[in-house]
Amino acid sequence: MGYPVLLLDADDTLFDFAQASAAAFSTLCRTCSLPWSEEHRSLYDAINHTLWAQLDRGEITKEFLVVERFRRYLSRLGLPGDPAECNRVYLEALGRSAVLLPHALEVCRALAQNHRLYIITNAVASVQRARLSQSAIAPYIQGAFISEEAGAAKPSRAYFDYVLTHLSGVRPEDCLVVGDSLSSDIQGANNAGLPCCWFNRTGAPRPEGLRIDYEITSLPQLLEIT
């Protein structure tokens, strides 16, 4: 057992964010009487993605992001509506969706037998808490470090310092950061000097200039390296 503490990203590492987001977007369109189509959803996804990348680079705040994504979306399509209300409806629906990625449940169950599992996430706190509590993996997770509550976000060193401070007695080399995002999870582990495992689900090319200690393409491979 090389890494007694596993710091696991949530979205697109354990949870199927694409499915949750698609369901929440449909609920938003129904509730707020907005048109729905695949094209509409793709447009929203693209706007949201751009803003999250800016957040990862520290250029904007989460409070700005969550409303701005709907302001841009409505404005691009010339639709009426209150962006803040759209965000409220969307987040509430997102919190009700706890769809896991393939193998997430069995892998968490197996790892929890001899590791301590924690969630590390930049997601909206209310959504993440709601989702975690109703998820099948809840019994295997010891706690969640949510950026909003930490006062800092991945990939900042301050965020990981907060995590380690709350794991008393745990040394950095005891932890393995596992996540799908190069810009938040892997960059964060590099900033904080923590061992890391990149969950490369899509078979993306390995980037230059980042330390990647392990790379997996499916979650069961984690059982072999932890």
DSSP-assigned states of every residue in 173-212: GGEEEEES-IIIIIHHHHHHT--EEEE-TT-PPPPSS---
Strand ordering across the sheet containing 116-121: 143-146, 116-121, 5-9, 175-179, 196-199, 214-216
Based on the shown chain and the rule CB under 5 A, indicate whether residue 147 belongs to the binding site for Mg ion. Answer: no
Phi then psi for residue 57, to 5 deg, are -85, 0
| Closest listed residue to residue 2, CA positions, set 138, 171, 189 | 171
Q: Which is nearer to Mg ion, 14 or 89 (CB)?
A: 14
* Closest approach of Mg ion to the CB of residue 12, in Å: 4
Considering only the stretches 43-51, 83-91, 92-100, 175-183, report the one whose residues sit in contact with Mg ion under the rule CB under 5 A. Answer: 175-183
List CB contacts of 184: < 8 A, sequence separation 6 or more: 9, 56, 122, 153, 154, 155
Considering only the stretches 4-12, 56-64, 144-152, 160-168, report the one whose residues sit in contact with Mg ion under the rule CB under 5 A. Answer: 4-12
* Closest approach of Mg ion to the CB of residue 3, in Å: 19
Q: Which is nearer to Mg ion, 11 or 16 (CB)?
A: 11
Based on the shown chain and the rule CB under 5 A, indicate whether residue 12 belongs to the binding site for Mg ion. Answer: yes
Among 180, 186, 198, 199, binds Mg ion (CB under 5 A): 180
What is the C-alpha to C-alpha distance for residues 183 and 87, in angstroms, rounded to an integer?
24
Considering only the stretches 26-34, 172-180, 196-204, 212-220, report the one whose residues sit in contact with Mg ion under the rule CB under 5 A. Answer: 172-180
What is the C-alpha to C-alpha distance for residues 152 and 154, in angstroms, rounded to an integer?
7
Based on the shown chain and the rule CB under 5 A, indicate whether residue 56 belongs to the binding site for Mg ion. Answer: no
| Closest listed residue to residue 136, CA positions, set 97, 163, 175 | 97
Q: Which is nearer to Mg ion, 56 or 180 (CB)?
A: 180
Q: Which is nearer to Mg ion, 34 or 118 (CB)?
A: 118
Considering only the stretches 70-78, 133-141, 178-186, 218-226, report the one whose residues sit in contact with Mg ion under the rule CB under 5 A. Answer: 178-186
Among 5, 6, 7, 9, binds Mg ion (CB under 5 A): 9
SS3 101: coil
- Which H or E element spans position 116? strand 116-121
The footprint of Mg ion (CB under 5 A) covers 9, 11-12, 180-181
